[in-house]
Chain A
Amino acid sequence: MALRRVIYVLLAAALLMTFGVTYAQDDIVIDFYFPSATANDAEGIFERYAGLFEEENPGVVVNPIFTGSYTDTRNTILTELQGGGAGPDVAVMLSIDLYSFAEEGYIIPAQGFIDAMDNGADYVNDFFPALMANGVDEMGNVWAIPFQRSTPILYYNADLLTEAGYDSPPTNNAELVEIAQALTTDERDGLLVPVAGGFPIWMYQSFAIAYGQNIVSDDPTEVYFNTPEAVAAVEFVRSLGTDLGVGPAGGAAWGDTPVAFLAGQAAMIYHTTGNLTRILNDADFEVGVWYLPSGPAGDDGAGYGAPTGGGNLYIFDDGSKSAEELDAIWRWVMFLSSPEIQADWGATTGYIAANASAWETEPLASLAQEHPQYGIARDQLQHVGKEFSSYATITIQGIINGTLESILTGESEDAQAAMDAAQEQIDGILAEYR
């Protein structure tokens, strides 16, 4: 019977295809897990980098593996390691994942490799200090190397601003509100701050810093979520959608914000520098970029504020890897964080190249010359603060996100009370680590 023959053939094919790829026996294979957070062909880019690296490093094979979003990547790696798998050798994960992975004993500090270098200090000092902040523990040991980094900036539709008589972007919150109100129409929002959609903490941190108190410090057992600055910051964000009426109540959704901006439906937006290339490419108007406006912490510029964001390179080892393997792994990390690759990566994707010398390297150098917007994103780095990260990061971040959302959507009218309650829960958790 014909059907039966088809079935047998399919079955045989399925079994044959069970066997995977094999490598030459003596090659060192580096499994490199990477998340994707842009519409770029990250896989293609990493395959290209791996090829370049393998040319310079015979005997080492890099195996780039796509692991979904940052959250997927984190969960995939944890599932694999808790399930007895080998896990990656190097992975790009959120810079704030440091404490959870260090606590589990899955990763090792980069500090040891840096100390063994002839010019380790130069290597570290070439990175923008702000981008190192989340990769260093409270003792000053470097764990993770900046790679796919970003920070929120202000994008504005320069055509619309000029039309309304504003020659320059707002530099403080008062100007921000004034311009946003002037540019708000029935069809257009004056300002979109993407605090809706599950992750308000990042944008909120910008305001907290601009109000004078970041919610984190260098001590992973301290969180400052109910300070007067923290409360005033969230009340200001809430008022953008209520009293001031320059955007939707409850805030804009993260993913829709750049689309609305590109379509001319928003005059100004807060969004990540990871989006700069897309916006510059797709906009049919003049795109302006500026530091996030300063807040009460200093209208003269001292109160500029934004957190860093994005992913770092982490090295995985449970103590079983040989010196040779670790050496190859470190060379791959060095390669990815080299000025040449960072310049290429920054120019291709729009992420901020993490080291100063990358900005003097092609193709980034001429790109930054051609589009000064890239340079502004970089220069804001001198004002930015650490992204939220502590012990029990995921749990505490969940508490903060939930509290912020309930304040922003009006469920908790009394911001102070809601934040006091959250702070109490947070302190209860962190007490276990003190």
Chain B
Amino acid sequence: MKDANLLLRRFGAALKAALAIAFLIPLFFTVLVSVRPEAEPVTNGNIFFGSEVTLDNYQRALDIAPWSLHYLNSIVFVAGTLLVQLLTVTAAAYAFARMKFFGRNILLLIILLQLMIPSGVLLVQNFRTIQLLGLFDTRVALMIPYWGSAFGVLLLRQTFREVPLELEEAARIDGANLYQVIRHVYITNAIPAYLAFALVSVSSHWNEFLWPFIITRSEEIRPLTVGLNKLIKTTDQGAFYGQLMAGTLIVIMPLVILFLVFQRQFVESFARSGIR
């Protein structure tokens, strides 16, 4: 029995290493290609290194788009989206978790439809809505379709339902109003769920391309993915992998650092967030 366990552990360790290596190979070569001369593909000469280690690709990638502006825009985009989401999602989640009202299930189902409808096909109609609202080419236009989040409602509703009802009743007896109940009973007890939601929201909007691209024209408000797109669309001249890899690394670096620093908190947040 003991031997079998040891064997299983060894097997697990080997499997873990194999998986990690398989997943990391693309990243490993992304970094290598980004510092390899563009004219020397990996099939030519040493597979790991070219004739020199160069930062030319980074230089060219940096020259082609105003990255600091794009960074700022992406930060404003994800922050503005998240902040409003937190408000709308909290309110709706509380209502669905703890209030009884006519049409509750059907209204929840309608909101959940958002998860099932691919928004990519609704571009023309949503463009028209934005146009009617007079928001075309503004930061609000970027964010507004995401201000309602079915995923967030689902996640927080689940979490709120696990907050003991007695806590709310005690607060009510102490004279707390609705805002105070939500603020001090529910939000306080759901911080991990909020963190989990923030991770999902920030990483998905940081990488959002189609909608920001369609709904904005001014360089002053366009996010990082639009800059990355400039590096990708080199059709007539073929692939510029070095420059592309450099650009991709530039775009994801903040998220990577964020994850490495906070991964334990994130995982534990998810753990306490009610998705289990």
A–B contact via C-beta, under 8 angstroms: yes
Q: Interface with B: A5-13, A219-227, A420-428, which one?
A: A5-13
Cβ distance A148 to chain B, nearest Cβ, rounded Å: 9
Whether the pair B235, A41 counts as a contact (CB closer than 8 A) is no
A20-B138, A39-B243, A255-B239 known; A76 and B64 CB under 8 Å?
no
Majority secondary structure, B binding face? helix
B38 interfacial by beta-carbon distance below 8 Å: yes
Contact B236 A68, beta carbon cutoff 8 Å: no
Most buried by B among A14, A76, A150: A14
Q: Contacts A14-B79, A39-B243 given: A68-B229 contact, CB under 8 Å?
A: yes
* Cβ A263 vs Cβ B40 within 8 A: yes
Any B CB within 8 A of the CB of A265: yes
Question: Please, what's the 1-or-0 string for B227-251, where 1 marks a CB less than 8 Å from any CB in chain A?
Answer: 0011101111111110100000000
- Per-residue A-contact encoding for B165-187, CB less than 8 Å = 1, 0 else: 00000000000000000000000
Point out the residue from A19, A38, A70, A83 that lies within 8 Å of B237, measured CB to CB.
A38
Binds B, one of A103-111, A271-279, A337-345: A271-279
List the A residue with the shortest CB-CB distance to B222: A66
Contact B124 A83 (CB under 8 A): yes
CB-contact partner of B238 in A10, A21, A82, A257, under 8 A: A257
Q: Is the CB of A258 within 8 A of B139?
A: no
Q: Which of A29-37, A354-362, A397-405 contacts B (4 or more CB under 8 A)?
A: A29-37
Check A254 against B235 for contact (C-beta < 8 Å): yes
Q: Which residues of chain B in 121-137 are interfacial with respect to chain A, using CB atoms and an 8 Å cutoff?
A: 123-128, 130-132, 136-137
- Assembly CA distance A262 to B40 (angstroms): 8
* Nearest Cβ on chain B to A279's Cβ, whole angstroms: 8
How many of B's residues come within 8 Å of A, CB to CB? 49
Interface string of A39-66 (1 = CB under 8 A from B): 1010100000000000000000000011
Known contacts A14-B83, A17-B139, A39-B64; decide if A264 and B44 are in contact (CB<8 Å): yes
> At the interface, yes or no: A175 with Cβ under 8 Å from chain B?
no
Shortest Cβ distance from residue A196 to the other chain B in the assembled complex, whole angstroms: 13
A20 close to B137 (CB less than 8 A): yes
A343 CB to closest chain B CB (Å) equals 19
In contact, B226 and A66 (Cβ under 8 angstroms): yes
B41 x A263 contact (CB < 8 A): yes
Residues in B with CB closer than 8 Å to A150 are 236
Expressed in whole angstroms, the Cα–Cα distance for A274 and B126 within the complex equals 36
Q: Is B4 on the interface with A (CB-CB < 8 A)?
A: no
Whether a CB of chain A sits under 8 angstroms from the CB of B213 is: yes
Q: Tell me the complex Cα distance, A349–B238, Å.
A: 14
Once the chains bind, are A265 and B235 in contact (CB under 8 Å)? no
Are B40 and A37 within 8 A (Cβ)?
no
Contact residues, A257-301 vs B (CB, 8 A): 257-260, 262-265, 271-272, 274-275, 278, 282-284
* Nearest CB of A to B212, in Å: 12
For the complex formed, measure the closest distance between the CB of A47 and the CB atoms of chain B, giving whole angstroms: 10
- Between A41, A79, A259, the greatest number of chain B beta carbons within 10 A of the residue's beta carbon is seen for A259
Q: Which of B102-142 contact A (CB under 8 A)?
A: 123-128, 130-132, 136-140
In Å, the complex CA distance between A85 and B218 comes to 15
Give every chain B residue within 8 A of A256 (Cβ-Cβ): 238-239
Partner of B131, one of A20, A66, A83: A83
Report whether over half of chain A's contact residues are helix, strand or loop; otherwise say mixed: mixed
Tell me, yes or no, whether A126 is within 8 Å of chain B by CB.
Answer: no
B60 an interface residue at 8 Å Cβ cutoff? yes
Which residues of A have CB within 8 Å of B39? 262-263, 282-284
Q: What size tier do the contact residues of chain A reach?
A: 35 or more
Q: A13 touches which one: B76, B131, B213, B240 (CB < 8 A)?
A: B76
Residues of B near A275 (CB, < 8 A) are 236-238
A84 in contact (CB, < 8 A): yes
**B274 CB-CB contact with A under 8 Å:** no
Residues A83 and B127 in contact, CB atoms below 8 Å apart: yes
What residue in chain A is nearest B127 (Cβ atoms)? A83
How far is B239's CA from A254's CA once the two chains are assembled, in angstroms?
9
Q: Would you call A79 and B236 a contact (CB within 8 A)? A: no
Q: How far is the CA of A19 from the CA of B229 in the complex (A)?
A: 24
Q: In the bound complex, what is the Cα–Cα distance between A275 and B234 (angstroms)? A: 10
Please give, as numbers and ranges, the residues of chain A lying within 8 Å of B214 by CB-CB distance.
Answer: 76, 79-80
Kindly report which residue of chain B lies nearest to residue A275, judged by CB atoms. Answer: B237
Using known A-B contacts A36-B230, A36-B233, A263-B44, determine if residue A85 contacts B124 with beta carbons closer than 8 Å.
no
Interface residues of B, Cβ cutoff 8 Å to A: 38-41, 43-44, 60, 63-65, 76, 79-80, 83, 123-128, 130-132, 136-140, 213-214, 217-221, 226, 229-231, 233-241, 243
19 A-B pairs in the complex with CB atoms less than 8 angstroms apart: A14-B80, A18-B138, A19-B138, A36-B230, A38-B234, A38-B236, A38-B237, A39-B64, A43-B65, A66-B226, A80-B127, A80-B214, A255-B235, A256-B238, A265-B41, A275-B238, A282-B39, A283-B39, A350-B237
New A-B pairs, 9, CB < 8 Å, besides A82-B127, A83-B130, A83-B131: A14-B79, A20-B137, A39-B243, A79-B123, A83-B123, A254-B235, A255-B234, A262-B39, A265-B41
Residues of A within 8 A of B (CB): 7, 10-11, 13-15, 17-21, 31, 35-39, 41, 43, 65-66, 68-70, 72, 76, 79-80, 82-85, 150, 254-260, 262-265, 271-272, 274-275, 278, 282-284, 310, 350
Top 8 A-B residue pairs of the complex, sorted by shortest distance between their CB atoms: A83-B127, A274-B236, A14-B80, A258-B238, A255-B239, A37-B236, A83-B128, A263-B44
